[in-house]
Amino acid sequence: MIKVIFFDLDGTVLSHTGVPVLDSTREALRLLKEKGIKRICCTGRNIGEMEGIKEFDLDFDGYYTDNGQGYFDEELNPVEIDYLNEQQTQELVSFFNMKIVPTMLATSEKLILNCFSKQVLEVTDELDIPTGVVGTYNGERLLNGVAYVSRKEEEQIRQYLPNAVFARWNPYAVDIVYNAGGKAEAIEKYISKHNLSREETMAFGDSFNDESMLKAAGYGVAMGNAVEELKKVADYVAPDIDDDGIYRALKHLKLI
């Protein structure tokens, strides 16, 4: 019996090609609540990028941000945040200061960008997310980073970040994280805290950084608009996000 469902945000719940959030998606979340099934948002976004989410009237029971680094309650109040340690921070900041590629540092309060580029603006405009403010690092506690690079460029910068894990979410943007488990670790933390079994969990996603989450959950659902790599590891492929994907998938799976 499913007791909790983890939902990726961008491309899964929040569309960037049609209506941002379909009424059917809100209805699906409401019906899950009626059934007593917890709804947890699990996103690569930083908490500083979540402020505009409330305008979409999404009703989640909690939020994992930064690919599992931070956990926030239903009102986006911090519950548990895993900051980078000194060694990880030094590695990431050193790379940030090189300004080889546009790179952003994420704290729990703000986003710091080392330089702008056309690529940064194209990615952030497409997803309607903050670009961050160009600035310098002044000792803030960090959660992770973002490099605005293609796959080819990603391979070229790995030498500077040997201890990091790269979690791609856009053809020209990749998260730089030090949580090796990524979103999977978020599920494992939640399962442990609430004394659940893996079989009582489900996850919905659409991109590369959702693969670990779908594999960690008892049942993984890839959206119809998901990357092909994710569809291959999913237990079920839902209709497209803009085609009532979440609602129709949950109906098909007899959860609402």
- CA–CA separation, 130 vs 231, rounded Å? 29
Q: What is the pLDDT of residues 160-177, one digit of tens each?
A: 999 998 988 888 999 998
14 & 66 share domain:
yes
- Count of structural domains, the chain: 2
pTM: 0.87
Q: What is the pLDDT of residues 32-76, one digit of tens each?
A: 999 999 999 999 888 877 767 777 889 899 999 988 889 999 998
165 & 191 share domain:
no
The last residue of a domain, from among 123, 149, 177 = 177
34 & 72 share domain:
yes
CATH (domain of 44): 3.40.50.1000
194 band by pLDDT with thresholds 50, 70 and 90: very high
Answer whether 72's CB lies under 8 Å from 63's CB. Answer: yes
173 & 207 share domain:
no
- CA–CA separation, 28 vs 37, rounded Å? 11
DSSP-assigned letter for residue 90: H
What local confidence, expressed as pLDDT, does residue 248 receive? 98
CATH (domain of 155): 3.30.1240.10
CA angle 77, 130, 25 (to 5 degrees): 65
The last residue of a domain, from among 177, 204, 225 = 177
Q: Is the pLDDT of residue 209 over 80?
A: yes
The last residue of a domain, from among 177, 206, 229 = 177
Indicate the average pLDDT of the chain. Answer: 92
User: What's the one-letter identity of residue 214?
Assistant: L
Q: What percent of the chain stands above pLDDT 70?
A: 98
69 & 187 share domain:
yes
Three-class secondary structure of residue 211 per DSSP: helix
Averaging pLDDT over each range in 13-22, 137-146, 183-192, 235-244, which range is the top one? 235-244
Average pLDDT of the segment spanning 181-199? 92
118 & 188 share domain:
no
Domain that holds residue 97: 86-177
